[in-house]
């Protein structure tokens, strides 16, 4: 039976993994005009590659991945995947991909790059020293508050603020779910229950009038800590790049953060991202922000994975 090889380079951004697929995907699975089209083609024809590389026995329940693809619109195209499916945008993943590809020499060590993601174009600033990437900042796609959904729970109602920041987030005060952020594992079930309840309420996107299905829940604490739960209960070990953009956008909407004012957000393993709102504008009555977030990633290894035609086990996750 035939054996297929997949080459990856792996990074962590503030503790959160990104498995970056460099080779092994058939060209026919990555056709399309935009990065979103290429992602959709991959999802329709090669989703088993995502499962193979994200889930056990090669990955794990909290694995995350990225696939760099060519594009005429930017210096780099990339789409993002997890154990369950795909996200349109990912901050920690973008920081990881840019770090790995610049350090490999696959991307120019230029201080300014543009990256096309399924959510749109993202401007990236790269800080290097001694041939290494020290810090990556990205200016996210347009971000805005969608609506507030009040969820009834046994412990009392919880207010979830739905925000678009490349992905739809439900941002909620951890206290209102009866959890502290001291133990990330404790956040998973309440976050998934909240996501189900918010999505049952069918929030809408104020810029399109279309559904705004929440992909991730961000639990926040007043001291700047946050914990983001996504996919089937994956916990982002980093402060979450797009989640930090959602938080910045909310703080700005609430009058608690001026344009240019910087905040630091701390994730479940103590790593931090810094962020600020670079600009805002009002479009059809909706305040749209341009959030900028920066952080640091490190390459953890390079891998050659095999798909052995005799191996019938398939992929799975436990936990
Ligand atoms: O960093 O944007 C992010 C992210 C989303 C899900 C996991 N990480």
Beta partners for residue 145, in sequence order: 163
Judgement on whether residues 163 and 271 belong to the same structural domain of the protein: yes
Q: Are 98 and 73 part of one and the same domain?
A: yes
Query: What is the rounded CA–CA span in Å between residue 285 and residue 85?
Result: 33
Does residue 184 fall inside a structural domain?
A: yes
Q: Which atom of ligand 1 is nearest to the CA of 92?
A: 1
CA angle 244, 148, 36 (to 5 degrees): 55
Instruction: Supply 34's token pair.
Output: 């935009």
pLDDT along the chain (319 residues), means of 10: 94 98 97 98 98 98 98 98 98 98 93 97 96 96 98 92 98 96 96 98 98 98 96 98 98 98 98 98 97 98 96 91
**What element of type H or E holds 281?**
strand 272-283
Pair (157, 81) in one structural domain? no
Q: What does the pLDDT read at residue 155? A: 83
Examine the residue annotation and report whether 227 is marked as an active-site residue of this protein.
no
Residues 73 and 171 in one domain: no
Mutation to probe ligand 1, out of 19, 54, 63, 64 (largest number of atoms < 8 A from CB): 64
Alpha carbon dihedral 284, 194, 51, 100, in 10-degree steps, equals 60
Q: What is the pLDDT of residue 110?
A: 85
Query: Is there a single domain that holds both residue 165 and residue 282?
Result: yes
Query: What is the CATH classification number for the domain harbouring 167?
Result: 3.10.310.10
The answer on 175 and 97 residing in a single domain is: no
d(CA 154, CA 140) in angstroms, rounded, equals 36
Pair 297, 100: CB distance under 8 Å: yes
Q: How far apart are CA 12 and CA 97, in angstroms?
A: 10
Residue entry with tokens 């994956």 = 234
Pair 262, 217 in one domain:
yes
Cα–Cα distance measured from residue 119 to residue 242, given in angstroms and rounded to the nearest whole number? 11
Q: What pLDDT does 262 receive?
A: 98
Q: Are residues 211 and 188 in the same domain?
A: yes
Residue 318, in any domain of the structure:
no
| Same domain, residue pair 217 and 90 | no
Contacts of 72 (CB under 8 A, 6+ apart): none
32 CB neighbour count, 10 Å cutoff: 13
Range of the domain at 16: 3-139+298-308
pLDDT of residue 131: 87
The answer to whether position 313 is within a domain reads no
What residue's CA is closest to ligand 1, atom 8?
A: 240
CB of 103 shorter than 6 A to ligand 1: no
pLDDT digit string (tens) for 96-151? 999 999 999 999 888 999 999 999 999 999 999 998 999 999 999 999 999 999 99
What is the rounded radius of gyration, in angstroms, for the C-alpha atoms of the chain? 19
pTM: 0.98
Selection from 277, 251, 233, 260 nearest residue 84 by Cα: 233
The reply to whether 200 falls in a domain is yes
- Our answer on whether the CB atom of 84 is closer than 6 Å to any ligand 1 atom is no
Tokens of 239: 């402060």
The pLDDT assigned to 224 comes to 96
Is residue 90 flagged as an active site residue?
yes
Q: Could you tell me if the CB of 51 is within 6 A of ligand 1?
A: no
Q: How far apart are CA 247 and CA 226, in angstroms?
A: 9
Question: Cα–Cα distances in Å, from 319 out to 36, 233, 316?
Answer: 30, 9, 10
Ligand 1 touching residue 92 (CB < 6 A): yes
Beta strands in 56-119 (DSSP E): 64-69, 76-82, 86-87, 112-117
- In this prediction, residue 109 carries a pLDDT of 81
Looking from the CA of residue 230, the nearest atom of ligand 1 is: 6
The tokens describing 248, both together, are: 């910045």
Cβ neighbour number for residue 131 with a 10 Å cutoff: 9
Q: For residue 87, how far is the Cα from the chain centroid?
A: 6
Q: Write down the pLDDT at residue 15.
A: 98
Using one digit for the tens of pLDDT, what is the confidence trace for 279-289? 999 999 999 99
Number of independent structural domains in the chain: 2
Q: Are residues 129 and 170 in the same domain?
A: no
- Residues 129 and 17 reside in one and the same domain: yes
C-alpha angle 143-43-45 in degrees, rounded to nearest 5? 160
Ligand 1 contact via 242 beta carbon (within 6 Å): yes
Q: Are residues 107 and 188 located together in one domain of the fold?
A: no
In a domain, 191, yes or no: yes
In a domain, 11, yes or no: yes
């Amino acid at each position: 039976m035939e054996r297929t090889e997949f080459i990856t380079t792996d990074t962590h951004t503030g503790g959160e993994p990104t498995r970056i697929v460099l080779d092994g995907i058939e060209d026919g699975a990555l056709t399309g005009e935009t990065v979103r089209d290429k992602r959709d083609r991959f999802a329709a024809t090669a989703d088993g590659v995502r499962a193979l590389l994200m889930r056990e026995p090669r990955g794990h329940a909290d694995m995350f991945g990225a696939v760099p693809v060519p594009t005429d619109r930017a210096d780099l195209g990339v789409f993002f995947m997890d154990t369950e499916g795909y996200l349109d945008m990912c901050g920690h993943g973008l920081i990881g991909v840019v770090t790995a590809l610049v350090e490999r020499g696959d991307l120019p060590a230029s201080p300014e790059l543009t990256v096309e993601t399924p959510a749109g174009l993202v401007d990236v600033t790269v800080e290097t020293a001694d041939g290494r990437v020290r810090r990556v900042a990205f200016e996210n796609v347009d971000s805005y508050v969608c609506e507030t959904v009040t969820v009834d729970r046994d412990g009392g109602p919880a207010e979830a603020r739905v925000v678009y920041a490349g992905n739809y987030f439900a941002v909620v005060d951890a206290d209102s779910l009866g959890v502290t952020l001291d133990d990330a594992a404790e956040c998973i079930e309440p976050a998934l229950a909240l996501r189900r309840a918010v999505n049952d309420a069918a929030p809408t996107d104020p810029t399109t009038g279309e559904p705004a299905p929440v992909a991730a829940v961000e639990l926040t604490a007043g001291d700047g800590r946050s914990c983001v739960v996504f996919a089937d209960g994956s916990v982002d070990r980093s402060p979450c790049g797009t989640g930090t953009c959602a938080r910045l956008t909310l703080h700005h909407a609430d009058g608690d953060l001026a344009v240019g004012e910087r905040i630091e957000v701390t994730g479940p393993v103590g790593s931090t991202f810094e962020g600020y709102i670079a600009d805002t504008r009002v479009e059809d009555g909706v305040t749209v922000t341009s959030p900028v977030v920066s952080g640091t990633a490190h390459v953890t290894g390079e891998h050659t994975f095999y798909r052995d035609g005799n191996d019938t086990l398939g992929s799975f996750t436990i936990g």
